[in-house]
Structure 1
Amino acid sequence: MPAKPAHGRHDHSSEAPLFFALSKTIGVALLPINLLVELGIVSVVLMATRFAAFGRRLAVTTLVLLALAAFSPLGNLLIYPLESRFPAWDASRGAPDGIIVLGGSVDTDLSAAHRTPVVAHAADRLFAPAELARRYPNARIVFTGGSANLVSSEAREADYSAPILENLGIAKDRLILERNSRNTWENAIFTKQLVSPKPGERWLLVTSAFHMPRSMGIFRKAGFEVEAYPVDWRMGGREDLFSFTNMGADGLRRTEVAVREWIGLTAYRLMGRISELLPGPGRD
C-alpha cells in the first residue's frame, strides 16, 4: 500500500508560517495581472483627487505595461532562461531507482467540489511518470503534493492525482503518496523523509521546465540529489524568443508564469533555500 506520513506534520523542516503567508498574499499581489489591476484601480481613485494628473500618468503607465506583458516577447524573454536551464534527461545513463513527481496539475478545490480529479494545467507532469513507469518497471513512483492554499482543507492533490496515475497504467502498489507538502521546499523535505534515499540511488525529478531550476536547487539544498526530467514547456526554443505569435492572453499568461517563478527564485535565494539565483545542471 502507498506509504503516507502522519497527518498534521509540523517540525523544523516545514515552511515558516510567516513566509508561507507572505508568499500567498504579497507574493500573489505582485504577479503581473494582479499588480496591473491594482495599479489601474489606484489610478482611477487618484483621478478623483487633487492627484488627478499623477493618476492619469499612472493609468497610461499601467496600459503600457499591460501591452508589454500581453503583446510583446517579454514573457518569452523571461521564461526562456528558466526552461532552457536543464536539458532533456539522458536515458543512456541507465534506469533510475525512483521517480518523483511534483504536484501542480490538479485543482484541489474544483476536484473536491465535483468529487473527481480536475486537471487545471501542466498535465505533462502526470503523463510523463506514466510513460517512465512503463519503461522502468522497478522504479519507485512518488507523487508529492498536498494543499497549497493559505487556508488548508482536507483536499490534498496527491489524493486526486493518484487515480489519474493509476488510470494511466501505474499500479496502485507502486505509488507512494506524500500529501502534506504545501510548496516545493516541503516537497523536497517531506519526500526525502518518506523515501530515505540511499547513497548511489538515482532519482528523477519530474516537473515543468520553467520550474526545474528552483526545484533542483531546493532538492539539492535539502540534501536530496536528483536528476532533472523537465516537461510542460511553454516555448519551442531560442527561435521563439522574439516571436509575436500567440500573444494577447497567451502572452500575458506566459509573463505571469515567468514572473511568478523569478519571484520564487529570488525569495528562496534570500532565505538561503537555494544556493544560487538560477540553479543549473552542473551537479547532475
Structure 2
Amino acid sequence: MAAIFIVGWLTRRLGRYRLGDSLMVMAMLLLLLTAWPPVADNLLEPLESQYDALAAWPEDGEIEAVVVLGGGWQPDRPWSITGRLSESSAVRLMEGIRLWRQRPTLPLLVSGGGTGSEMTMAEGYAEAAEALGVTAERIVTLTSPHDTAAEAVAVQAQLGEGAQVLLVTSASHMPRAMRHFEVAGLAPVAAPTHYLASRTESSRLAYWVPSAHELRKTERAIYEALGLLAIYWEH
C-alpha cells in the first residue's frame, strides 16, 4: 500500500495527475479495508480455525513432551519476568503449562534464541515457568533456534525421529508450525492458543471502525500465508 501511494505520488509529480491521484486513492482505500475488522477477521480466521483447540489431553498416542514455541521477548526491560514476555509468548506459555500440568512427569520444552549476551527467549520462558510452579528438572530449554524451522530441528534432535509432541503456539501460526515439525520428522499434535480473530462482537460499534489493531491482524494473516507458501515451495 505504501509502495502504491509512493508510485502514485511520483506519477503525479511527472504530470500524470489522473493516474497519480487514482493510485493514491487506491492505496488509501486498501489501507482502510485491511484495517477494517470484517476484512481482517476473514483473512485471519481461516488460519486460526485449521486446528481445533485442545481442551483436554489427547487420549490416543504417546506424547513425549509439551513444546512451547518462542515469541516476542524483551529481556532488557526492568519488569517482572512475566511482564517481559509479549502477549503471544505469555499466552503460549500459559497454555503450555496448563497442558503440562495434566502430565507433569513429561518434559516441558521451551524454545527461542537471543542476541549477544541477552537472556534468550527460552531462558525467559523457563524462569517464568518456574515462577508459575513448574519444577526446574522438567523444563528443557532450546536456546539456539531463531525461527520455527530451527525450532522443529532442535526438538527433533532432543527427542528423536518420530517423537509425538503437543505443539503450543498461536493459532494463526499453527498451520506453518505443524508443517515445519512434520518436515523435521516429528509427529506434532496441535494445541493452538492466542486467538486474535473474531474477538469483537459485530453488534458493537468498534467492530465497524478501522484501527491499527486490525491492520496488524491483516499483516499477521499475510505473513503466515506467505510463510506457508515458502514451505511448500521448499519441500
Q: Sort the TM-score into its range (normalised by shorter chain).
A: 0.7 to 0.9
Verify the 8 A CA contact 1:96 1:136 in the aligned structure 2: no
2:221 to 258, 262, 278: 258
Distance change in 2, residues 1:38/1:111 (3 Å): farther
Instruction: Find out whether 1:50 has 2:3 as its counterpart.
Output: no
State how 1:127-206 maps to structure 2 within 5 Å.
Answer: 127-147=94-114, 152-155=115-118, 156-196=120-160, 202-206=164-168
State how 1:57-72 maps to structure 2 within 5 Å.
Answer: 57-71=22-36
Give the AA of the match of 2:64.
Answer: D
In structure 2, what is the equivalent of residue 78 of structure 1? 43
1:174-209, Cα deviation, whole Å (9 max, x unpaired): 111111111111110111112325x6x531000111
Verify the 8 A CA contact 2:44 2:217 in the aligned structure 1: yes
Query: What is the aligned-residue identity percentage?
Result: 28
- Measured on the aligned residues, the alpha-carbon RMSD in Å equals 2.5
TM-score by length of 1: 0.71
Instruction: Find out whether 1:125 has 2:103 as its counterpart.
Output: no
How many residues are aligned here? Answer: 225
Distance change in 2, residues 1:246/1:264 (3 Å): farther
Verify the 8 A CA contact 2:57 2:102 in the aligned structure 1: no
**Secondary structure, counterpart of 2:104 in structure 1:** coil
Give the AA of the match of 2:144.
Answer: N
Verify the 8 A CA contact 1:71 1:251 in the aligned structure 2: yes
Verify the 8 A CA contact 2:37 2:208 in the aligned structure 1: no
Verify the 8 A CA contact 1:97 1:138 in the aligned structure 2: no
Gaps of 5+ in 1: 1-35, 273-284
Verify the 8 A CA contact 1:204 1:228 in the aligned structure 2: yes
State how 1:199-214 maps to structure 2 within 5 Å.
Answer: 202-214=164-176
Gaps of 5+ in 2: none
In structure 2, what is the equivalent of residue 4 of structure 1? none
Verify the 8 A CA contact 1:100 1:141 in the aligned structure 2: yes
**Secondary structure, counterpart of 2:222 in structure 1:** helix
Structure 1 range deviating more: 257-266 or 89-98: 89-98
TM-score by length of 2: 0.84
1:57-114, Cα deviation, whole Å (9 max, x unpaired): 111000110111112512111111111111122525067331010011x32xx32254
Aligned equivalents of 1:219, 1:44: Cα separation in 2: 45
Aligned equivalents of 1:114, 1:173: Cα separation in 2: 27
Structure 1 range deviating more: 209-218 or 52-61: 52-61
**Secondary structure, counterpart of 2:9 in structure 1:** helix
Verify the 8 A CA contact 1:84 1:209 in the aligned structure 2: yes
Distance change in 2, residues 1:227/1:160 (3 Å): same
Verify the 8 A CA contact 1:46 1:54 in the aligned structure 2: yes
Aligned equivalents of 1:247, 1:136: Cα separation in 2: 44
User: How far has the Cα of 1:56 moved from its partner?
Assistant: 1.4
In structure 1, what is the equivalent of residue 59 of structure 2? 93
